[in-house]
Structures are given as structure tokens and as C-alpha cells.
Structure 1
Amino acid sequence: MYEQVTDPIGSSLGWSALVAALPLLALFTLLGVVRVRAWLAALTGLALALAVAVAAYGMPAGQAVNAAAEGAAFGLFPAMWIVVNAIWIYQMTVTSGHFDVLRRAFARVSDDRRVQGIIIAFSFGALLEALAGFGTPVAICSVMLIAIGLSPLKAATVALIANTAPVAYGAVGLPVITLARVTGLPMDDLSAMTGRQVPLLAVFVPLVLLVVLDGRRGLREAWPAALVCGVTFAAVQYLMANYGPLELTDVAAALVSAAAVLLLMRVWRPAAGPSDGAVDDPADPADGAAGSEAADGSGGAPVPVTPDGREGAAPSGTGTAVRAPEAPQPADTRTEMLRAFAPYIVIIALFSVVSIPAVAEALGRTTVFFDWPGLHVTSPDGEPLGLVQFKLDWLVGGGTVLLLAGVITAATLRVRPRQALAAYGRTLHQLRTAAVTVTAVLALAYVMNASGQTGTMGAFLADTGGLFPVLSPLLGWFGTAVTGSDTSSNSLFGALQVSAAEGAGHSPVLTAAANTSGGVLGKMISPQNLAIGASAVGLAGREGELFRRVLAATAVFVPFMCLLVYLQSTPLLSWMVP
């Protein structure tokens, strides 16, 4: 039996936290500064985590390896199981030709790609996050953004940044539900408090997406669409989190925000013409290189498109995508358009059915729980850790639901069994490096959690007294950045947030909710989500470029959330705390 210790380095919490942070510092430095491939950076971080666990924390080597094995298993199932089946569905839409039909359908919603990008990445992505989570919105929305003419690198960047505000209530409210379980606080209070923090982010995220899509010009010309989308999403998210069933918070917000933008398009349109919206900057070599790399079709990459939405690569010698006169679009029948949207309709329908309490309970009976072999760990207080128990939800899991959706999609799109299997093979080949990255990062996270490294860093931040509310969202941000899951972050730090708040005289509901709210901002920089986004658009190995692109967004939003939580801990905004 291994009992965790909080301050193994000279009985100093500060020095212990510094040593515990070494694997993460190495991971993000290699990824964002040295520009090492994500899978190699993740394996290096894992090796350091194992070394710190054994040498500094005194964890038996065998148990450290077993913890890594459990994390790797979780990375394969459910994380990669979800992503593989989501990308497989996309591959079949390419095979059947309905990917082009989908692209033309979005062009008819609005002739401005910035508006299309907001609807796809923010509203539709929020719906996927609400129903599935675990990287599904990034995987699916990235390729849909390529369908409207964005370069692969920009498409993945937009999808990652958009996947923020919906995360708190993703997977039918699982992060908040988990937070209530680990803290013992009323779930209604935690949902309401989170609903008084995250919606403020939702107002601004679509505006930031405009800047990413088309710079200051995009913000100047298309801000009404972004504002309508963000405000309606935030309003519905707030109302549902405080007064409705929290499981449907993001579902309702996503649908209402998309409907609001569609209604706006009937009475208003951006100042720029259709040829000016969301054009990749020819001066940006990253966009040009991304488009050129995607064009060679390597690694099962998506069908290349130029910024005007046509298939094909950039002219030789330019290195960037160049606009050409738009060709007349073929008229698609209503039946073909319905088939193009059928995969996503099926996904939404299946996840909605699985979310019904009676169905979820029936399917949940097939879930298997077992203690991970050879892993025996207790907390510093001698209490057994829940992380040693592995959950195998093979039937009710999101990946299995997506697999069934893929089978239905193949029949709906008339994809032959041999073609469907070939598409699955291409998907596995495309995601091979992403699988290594995801499993290595989650193995690292499990080693840090089991050895006590994560707890040491959390305790160090919690030992700040009156300043703790400022740092409280950082704990959630850090946990999600490491694990790629707001639910996992709440499992790690939820109880710690409560105990630190009670010791410092702050509201435990406030700081516990801040863990969830801060966590939504860590998802865009988590290595596994970066790997999923890069692989989805055929840019495996260029995760470092994605990391640098989304880093600015998280650097802006995190201080905003820290300031908001701090003000909510003072008389100025304390009226917002339930």
C-alpha cells in the first residue's frame, strides 16, 4: 500500500510543488517553445512524471507503472474510442460525396464564412459538447469548418477556442454532477453558481472567433452576428443552470443561439460581400502551409479546399491559398441535403435517447467497475483513492453511441460495407500519432494524481489564504489542461477547493464552481485535445502550432475569470453567490 505525501522535498510545500510541476513544465515547454512533436513531448513528460513519483515521492516503481497503464487505458477508452468513431463518420461523408453537399448547405445559410464559422464552431459545437464531450466537438467541427473553406490550421484553432463555454455543462452536465458528488455540496447551488460565471465568457467567445477568422475587419463587419449568438447562448445557459434541468443547459443554449443567428440573417447581413468573409491571410505562412499540407492527401487528411470553398490546392509556387472566381454551385435536392445532415441528426438523436434517465439506467447496468490490478494507493489521510477503480462503460459510452451512429450513417448515405471498412482503416491510420499523445498525457496525469504530485501543487495554491479566490479558477484550468476533462479536474480538485475556502473564510460553493469555470479554459490547450484537433484536419505533428495559436485566447480569458471570482468573493459581487 502506497500512502501519498504532500511535502516530500525537505518537508517544504513550496519546493515539493516546484519539483511536482517539472513534468508539466517540460511538456508545455517542449510543445510550445521547442516545438517538439506532441507525442514525443507527451512521452518525455510521462518519463519525468515517473521519475519524480519514484525518486522524489517514494512511490514503488511497479505502482507508478500501473498508474501509467491505467491512464493509458483511459486514453484509449473512452477518449480515443470516441474520436475514432467521430472521424470515421466524417470519412464516410467524404466517400459518399455528401461532404460537398454539406458545404454548399452552409453556404446557403449565410454567404459570409465568418457567420458560418460561428454557427458551426460555437452553436453546433456546443450541442455536440452537451451530448458527447471528450473531444467530439473539436473533431467534428474542425472538418466541418474546412467544408466552408477555412484552412486546416485555422479550422482546428477556431474549433478549439469555441469549445470553452459549453464545457461546464458538457456530456449532459457531468462536470457539475461530478463536482457535487466529490464535494457534498448541493448540486443546484453549484449549477447556479457556475451559471453565474461561465455565461459571461459565452458573450465574448464568438467575438474572439471573429478576430481569429478575419482579424479586426471581421470584428468590425460581423459583430452583430457574434453578439447575438453569444448573448442568447449566455442568457439561456444562465436560465437553465439556475432554473431548469442542468442536463439540458447546453442543449437549449446551443439550439436557441443558432436559431437567433438564423433569424438575424433574414434582416441583416455583414457589410462585406461573400468573397470577403473569413479569408485566410495570404501573409500568414501558417495558413498557407496548412492548406498546402492538407492538399497532398497524406495521413487521411480532409479534402483540401481553397478559401473560396472549392476543392483543390494552392497554385504551385505561391505557398498560400489564392482566391479564384467561384464556380456555379450545383443544385442539391432536399433529399441529398437531408442525407448530408443525417449523420449529425443521428448523433444528436442517439445521444438524446441515451440521456433519458430510464434508458441511461438500463444501459448503465452493463458498465463494469474493477480495481486496477497492482495499484494500491491511499490519500495522506489514509483514505483509499477513487482513481484506482476503472470504469468500463462499453455500451453506454459515447464512442459506442458514435459507432452505432456510423453504422446508421453508412446505410443512410448508401456507403457499401467495404467502403465503410476502408474508411475506418484510414481513420485509424490518421489518428495513430494522436492516440500515442492522448494515452501518454493521460498516463502522465494518472501518475501525477496517484503519486501525490497533483495534490502537492493544489495544496500549494490553496495555501494562499485571502488570495485563494483569485487562484481558485487556476486550479480548474490546470486540472483540465492536464487531463483534457473538466470532469476529471473537478474530481481532482473539487474537495480541495472546498476545504481551502472553508479555511480561508470564503464560500465553498463559489470556489468549487470556480474550479469548473476555470476548467473550461484549460481544455483548448490540453495536449490531447490539441492532438485530436490536429489529427482531425490532417496536421498530425503540428500540435505545437495549434498550441501557440490558442494560447493567446486562454491568456486573455483566464485573468478575466480570476478577477470575476475574486469580485464575487467581495461585497461588490457577493450577491451573485447562492
Structure 2
Amino acid sequence: MTWTQVINPLGNLWLSALVDALPIIFLFCALAFWRVKGHVAGLITLLLAILLALWFHGMPGYMVGLTALYGVLTGLFPIGWIVITAVFLYNLTVKTGQFEIIRSSIASITEDRRLQALLIAFSFGAFLEGSAGFGTPVAITAAMLAGLGFNPLYAAGICLIANTAPVAFGAIGIPIITAGAVTGIDEMSISQMVGRQLPLLSVFLPFWLVFIMAGWRKSLEVWPAILVSGLSFALTQWFTSNYMTPMLPDIASALVSIVALVVLLRFWQPRTVWRFPDEPPALLSRARYSAGEVFRAWFPFIVLTILISDWGLKPVKALLDKVTLKIVFTGLDKAIIAGGKPLAVVYNFNWLSAGGTAILLTSIVSAIVLRVGVGQFVEVLVKTLKDLRFALLTIAAVLGFAFVANWSGMTPTLGRAFTVTGMAFPLMSAFLGWLGVVITGSDTSSSALFCKMQQITAEGLGINPVLTIATNSSGGVAGKMISLQNLAVGTGATGLIGKESDLFRFCILHSVLFAAVIGAIATLQAYFFPGVIPPPLPAAKAADTVRTLSQGWVLLTGSFLLILGLGIGAYRQAR
């Protein structure tokens, strides 16, 4: 039995779009005004979408149920799997005390508040965004800056603003991976496009952070540090997103910018050390650690960088994908006619090639080197799962909603309505992504909510959909700083609980400005520089040739030997 997707069920596009927008409107109101918890709002949004799919679009009940199940499974794996393992690795370093060494090794490099903001809020915050995400960067970096003596409001505000450029590639690239999963477009095409937008913001952001803190003249005093920090980050972000994998840009860019700035400070220092007027005394411990201790503390993230790099390479992916389990959704596969073609519905359980598996292997290797016992390992894992249970439920619900909306005809209806914006749609794309993150607090959720709509609208207007899908993520980064979740994290980390409105006012103009800048970049790329936009390739299939597989074995073997050598060195530091 087949069913043809119903678009514009009322025969009036605006009325149909208004009805189909009800779940999104509810989600916005639930999170922005009614303060409903994220997982509750997500589940109700999914329920509303199911009801509309059944009664408004006439989708058969069993198809609605299977579609929701497919979305939930996609939310849990591979997306939820990455979240679990990334946060678990971070928690493991905290539990073993290694993260305190990492934190102190960065904080002890300079006394100048401007340079500390670049190192901690910008570079180290990006590192945390890439390895854990989901509020972790703001919580940790804001607390660090406040502990060093920063004005609490500036500590929280600076970290929120800094937590923009890395967000699209956060938590090992989940927003990009989600965008690819929802639209069926190769995630590397989306990664390349985002990597041709965000570096323009990344190179400017360090100056903006220092300018907010110290003004124009004091910013010029540290222009070498600003230039080195921003340029090294932006170039690495561009290279890794275009030529490697969407899972790596944040981690690699952060590490390169930290190293580049530290090297610069070996040969150059500002004439005067700048601090806030009447700032409180520093509270953060500045214990000195040996080079061996610092190396051992950073070891888990060095291994993570190596393995994530491998997992993003086509020969390695081809090798690991040999054990992928393909689950055909009988009753749904080729049963939905969308755009005149039957929709293939196959769930790929690529348990070995998934990014989360690389992070889990990193955690196991790190546990051995850091001498973590089995009991402690399990304890941290159980705590991680407990802490993330509601976040995982939210992700599963939002992805369930996204697929029900996409396949029932709700998203295509909304997409057609948005074609009225015409040539202004690339600008609108940035603000749609911005709105999605403001509502949900997550660029991943924004990708799930709006990327299919971005794709359909762009195709209707004759615009390359890769541009608008990528702009959804790029524009979304600007909304992160004023999302309720992040505001709550920022105030909680700096002792400003109850002053979320003050922090909101601190960030709102910067948020709107950044979204407008991304929208302007997208508009220029759409109409003046279309050659920078990658083609909308379908989701990539790993090559399966003998040569490709042998290359995969060689790369994995080389990485294993490198990790073994590094691990032996780090293990000896524990003695």
C-alpha cells in the first residue's frame, strides 16, 4: 500500500502553513514564555505533529507511528550516541582530576584579562564545544573567568558571545550530521558550506570580545594576539571542515589557536597588564604542573583528535562500514510518494563507523592510561547516562517531530509558504536558524526543525539548498548566546542566578548583529559568489574497493601505533 504526501491540504497555502506551524509555535511559547522543560515541550510537540499528520494530512496511522519511530531512532543513534560518549569522556577527565590540570595549564599562561578571554572564552570554550557541547563550554569557561577575578557579568557575557563560532560543529559535529540526516544531503557538502561562512565570523570574534571588555585603544594594544588567535582558528576551521570531517573543526581549531597564542606569548607580551577596575581577587587555583602532568591530562583529547580524524576519512569509513546493519522499515519503505517518487526508508545502524564509537574507544584507552578502575569507569558512565536522560529524550522527541513533519507534508507546506520571501530568503535562512536555537537552545535541534524546510524553500526559489541548509546552522550559532538554557548556565556558573534578564540585555544586540552578518554573507554567496557553494550531493556512500579498504587498514594501524606510543609515555607519568 502506498500513500501520496499531502501538501497544502486546505487548498489555501497560508492557512495550511499556519496550521502546520502550530507545533513550532507551541514549542517557541513553551520554552520562551511558559518555561516548560525541554523534554516535556519536545514530547508535546511530537504529539501535536502526529495529530496533524493523522487528521490534517491524512497520513495512515501505522505510517505515522513508523515515521516517528524512525526519527526517534535517528535521534538516539548516531546523534544521541555522540552526545553520551562525548560527555562521558569529559566527565572521565573531571573525575580523575585531569581536567583541573588542563584548566590550570591554560589559566596560568598570562595575567592579562584580554589574553585570558582569548585563551579561555574563545579557544578553550571552542575546544569544550567540540568535545562536549550542550552548555558545557559556557558553564566551565564562565566559572574559570569568574574565578580568575573577572566581573561576573562580563565573565558570563563574554563566554556566551565567544560560544558562537564553534557551535555549528559542536559536540563532534552533531548539528551538521543532523542536517544531513534530515535532508538526505551529504554532510560533507554542508560542512564545506558552513566552513565557507563561519571562518569570516571566527577571524573577527577575538577582536570583538576584547573590544567589548576594554574598548578600542586597549584592543589595539593586543592586536598581535587578536590576529594570531582569530586567524589560526579561522584557517583551521576552514581547512578541517572542507577537507576532513565535520566532527573535527572545533577541536582542531581550538588546539591550533591555543598553541599559536601560547607560542606568540613566548616572544611578545603587551606593554601593560590590563585588568577590570575594582575587580575582586582571583579565586581560581593556579597550581603549577610539570610538562609531563600537563601532557597526561591532555592525552584523552589528543587521542580523540587522532581517532576522530581517522573516522572522518573515506578509506577508514569504508572499512568500518563493512559491519553496518541495515534495517528496512517494512510498511514504510517505498510506501510514501513524495515529489512523485517513492521514499526509501532504511535505518543504517553503523555502530562501528559512528563518531560516538571513536569517542568511546578514546574513553577506554584514556581510562587505561589514567589508571581508572572498572568500578570507577562504570560509575562515571552511569552518572553520565543519568545526567543526560532528559537531554536524550528531548533529542529523540525533536527528531521524531522532524521526520513526521517532513514525511507527512507539513514541512513542504511551510517551505512553499516561505518562497514568498523571494530573493531575501538567504537572509531569512540565517534568522530561521537563529530563531530555532533561541527556542531550543541547540543548533542540533534547530537543524532538525528547519533544515528540511530550508531545503524545500531553496529548491522552490532556484537557490542551491546546500547554502540555506548550512546557513541555518551558521545563523543558529548567533542565537545560542540568548537561549534560555545558556543564559541559565551562564548565571549559574558565575553566581548571578536570577539575573538572566541582565545577561540577556548584555548579549541581545551582539546576537542580532551576528545573525545579520551571517545572513548578509549568505546573500552575497547566493547571488554574487555562487561558485563557493558545493553541489547538493546525496548522502555519501563509502567506497568498497580492495584498495580503499587496504588504505583504511594502513591508516588505522598507523594511528594505533601512534596512540600506543603516546599512551606509554602518558602512562609512565602516573608513576
| TM category, shorter | 0.7 to 0.9
Partner of 2:341: 383
In the alignment, the residues of structure 1 paired with residue 359 and residue 487 of structure 2 have an alpha-carbon distance, to the nearest angstrom, of 18
2:7 partner SS: coil
Partner of 1:20: 20
CA contact (8 A) 2:207 2:226 kept: yes
Partner of 1:261: 261
Partner of 1:161: 164
Task: State which of 346, 356, 360 in structure 2 corresponds to 1:399.
Answer: 356
Q: Deviations over 1:85-104 (max 9, x none)?
A: 22222222232222222221
Sort the Cα spacing of 1:206 and 1:438 in 2 relative to 1 into closer, same or farther, 3 A. Answer: farther
Partner of 2:108: 108
In the alignment, the residues of structure 2 paired with residue 78 and residue 501 of structure 1 have an alpha-carbon distance, to the nearest angstrom, of 32
Sort the Cα spacing of 1:110 and 1:19 in 2 relative to 1 into closer, same or farther, 3 A. Answer: farther
State the shift of 1:394 in Å.
1.0
In the alignment, the residues of structure 2 paired with residue 171 and residue 438 of structure 1 have an alpha-carbon distance, to the nearest angstrom, of 11
State the shift of 1:551 in Å.
6.6
Sort the Cα spacing of 1:162 and 1:270 in 2 relative to 1 into closer, same or farther, 3 A. Answer: farther
CA contact (8 A) 1:120 1:144 kept: no
Unmatched runs of 5 consecutive residues or more in structure 2:
147-151, 535-575
Which residues in structure 2 correspond to 1:483-502 (within 5 Å)?
484=444, 492=452, 496=456, 499-502=459-462
In the alignment, the residues of structure 2 paired with residue 168 and residue 410 of structure 1 have an alpha-carbon distance, to the nearest angstrom, of 20
2:6 partner SS: coil
Partner of 1:295: none
Which residues in structure 2 correspond to 1:54-73 (within 5 Å)?
54-73=54-73
Which residues in structure 2 correspond to 1:503-542 (within 5 Å)?
508-509=463-464, 512-522=466-476
Sort the Cα spacing of 1:45 and 1:165 in 2 relative to 1 into closer, same or farther, 3 A. Answer: closer
Q: Deviations over 1:76-129 (max 9, x none)?
A: 222222222222222222322222222211112333566445445544565677
State the shift of 1:22 in Å.
1.2
Q: Which deviates more, 251-260 or 47-56?
A: 251-260
Partner of 1:431: 388
State the shift of 1:7 in Å.
0.5
Which residues in structure 2 correspond to 1:525-564 (within 5 Å)?
554-564=511-521
CA contact (8 A) 1:486 1:516 kept: no
- 1:367 equivalent to 2:324? Answer yes
Sort the Cα spacing of 1:144 and 1:373 in 2 relative to 1 into closer, same or farther, 3 A. Answer: farther
Partner of 2:403: 446
AA aligned to 2:21 is: A
Q: TM-score, normalised by structure 1?
A: 0.72
State the shift of 1:34 in Å.
1.9
Partner of 2:539: none
Which residues in structure 2 correspond to 1:276-287 (within 5 Å)?
276=276
State the shift of 1:11 in Å.
1.0
State the shift of 1:348 in Å.
1.0
In the alignment, the residues of structure 2 paired with residue 168 and residue 330 of structure 1 have an alpha-carbon distance, to the nearest angstrom, of 29
Sort the Cα spacing of 1:210 and 1:407 in 2 relative to 1 into closer, same or farther, 3 A. Answer: farther
Sort the Cα spacing of 1:105 and 1:325 in 2 relative to 1 into closer, same or farther, 3 A. Answer: closer
Partner of 1:291: none
Which residues in structure 2 correspond to 1:177-326 (within 5 Å)?
182=185, 196-207=196-207, 216-217=213-214, 221=218, 224=223, 225-235=225-235, 237=237, 253-266=253-266, 267-269=268-270, 273=274, 276=276, 323-324=280-281, 326=283
Which residues in structure 2 correspond to 1:88-127 (within 5 Å)?
88-112=88-112, 115-120=115-120, 122-123=122-123
Which residues in structure 2 correspond to 1:42-53 (within 5 Å)?
42-53=42-53
2:164 partner SS: helix
Sort the Cα spacing of 1:126 and 1:499 in 2 relative to 1 into closer, same or farther, 3 A. Answer: same
CA contact (8 A) 1:195 1:238 kept: yes
Sort the Cα spacing of 1:176 and 1:421 in 2 relative to 1 into closer, same or farther, 3 A. Answer: closer
In the alignment, the residues of structure 2 paired with residue 201 and residue 574 of structure 1 have an alpha-carbon distance, to the nearest angstrom, of 19
In the alignment, the residues of structure 1 paired with residue 128 and residue 394 of structure 2 have an alpha-carbon distance, to the nearest angstrom, of 23
CA contact (8 A) 2:431 2:515 kept: yes
State the shift of 1:417 in Å.
1.4
State the shift of 1:47 in Å.
2.0
Partner of 2:132: 136
AA aligned to 1:29 is: C
1:331 partner SS: coil
State the shift of 1:268 in Å.
3.0
Q: Deviations over 1:346-377 (max 9, x none)?
A: 21122123233322211111122223354355
In the alignment, the residues of structure 1 paired with residue 491 and residue 381 of structure 2 have an alpha-carbon distance, to the nearest angstrom, of 16
Q: TM-score, normalised by structure 2?
A: 0.73
2:371 partner SS: coil
In the alignment, the residues of structure 2 paired with residue 349 and residue 536 of structure 1 have an alpha-carbon distance, to the nearest angstrom, of 31
State the shift of 1:514 in Å.
3.8
State the shift of 1:255 in Å.
4.8
AA aligned to 1:500 is: G
State the shift of 1:435 in Å.
2.0
CA contact (8 A) 2:134 2:171 kept: no
In the alignment, the residues of structure 1 paired with residue 278 and residue 178 of structure 2 have an alpha-carbon distance, to the nearest angstrom, of 34
1:390 partner SS: strand
2:320 partner SS: helix
Task: State which of 133, 141, 148 in structure 2 corresponds to 1:145.
Answer: 141
Which residues in structure 2 correspond to 1:29-44 (within 5 Å)?
29-44=29-44
In the alignment, the residues of structure 2 paired with residue 342 and residue 348 of structure 1 have an alpha-carbon distance, to the nearest angstrom, of 10
Sort the Cα spacing of 1:459 and 1:168 in 2 relative to 1 into closer, same or farther, 3 A. Answer: farther
CA contact (8 A) 2:307 2:362 kept: yes
CA RMSD, 1 decimal: 4.6
Sort the Cα spacing of 1:456 and 1:72 in 2 relative to 1 into closer, same or farther, 3 A. Answer: same
AA aligned to 1:417 is: V
In the alignment, the residues of structure 2 paired with residue 117 and residue 246 of structure 1 have an alpha-carbon distance, to the nearest angstrom, of 28
State the shift of 1:428 in Å.
1.8
Task: State which of 340, 344, 347 in structure 1 corresponds to 2:304.
Answer: 347
In the alignment, the residues of structure 1 paired with residue 240 and residue 523 of structure 2 have an alpha-carbon distance, to the nearest angstrom, of 24
- 1:420 equivalent to 2:416? Answer no
In the alignment, the residues of structure 2 paired with residue 207 and residue 51 of structure 1 have an alpha-carbon distance, to the nearest angstrom, of 49
State the shift of 1:564 in Å.
3.1
2:203 partner SS: helix
In the alignment, the residues of structure 2 paired with residue 548 and residue 374 of structure 1 have an alpha-carbon distance, to the nearest angstrom, of 48
Unmatched runs of 5 consecutive residues or more in structure 1:
280-322, 503-507
Sort the Cα spacing of 1:382 and 1:457 in 2 relative to 1 into closer, same or farther, 3 A. Answer: same
In the alignment, the residues of structure 2 paired with residue 49 and residue 452 of structure 1 have an alpha-carbon distance, to the nearest angstrom, of 11
Sort the Cα spacing of 1:552 and 1:435 in 2 relative to 1 into closer, same or farther, 3 A. Answer: farther
In the alignment, the residues of structure 2 paired with residue 103 and residue 85 of structure 1 have an alpha-carbon distance, to the nearest angstrom, of 21
Partner of 2:7: 6
Sort the Cα spacing of 1:532 and 1:210 in 2 relative to 1 into closer, same or farther, 3 A. Answer: same
Q: Deviations over 1:168-207 (max 9, x none)?
A: 99479868988997499xx88x887655533322233445
Sort the Cα spacing of 1:467 and 1:428 in 2 relative to 1 into closer, same or farther, 3 A. Answer: closer
- 1:331 equivalent to 2:285? Answer no
2:204 partner SS: helix
State the shift of 1:31 in Å.
0.7
2:342 partner SS: coil
State the shift of 1:499 in Å.
3.0
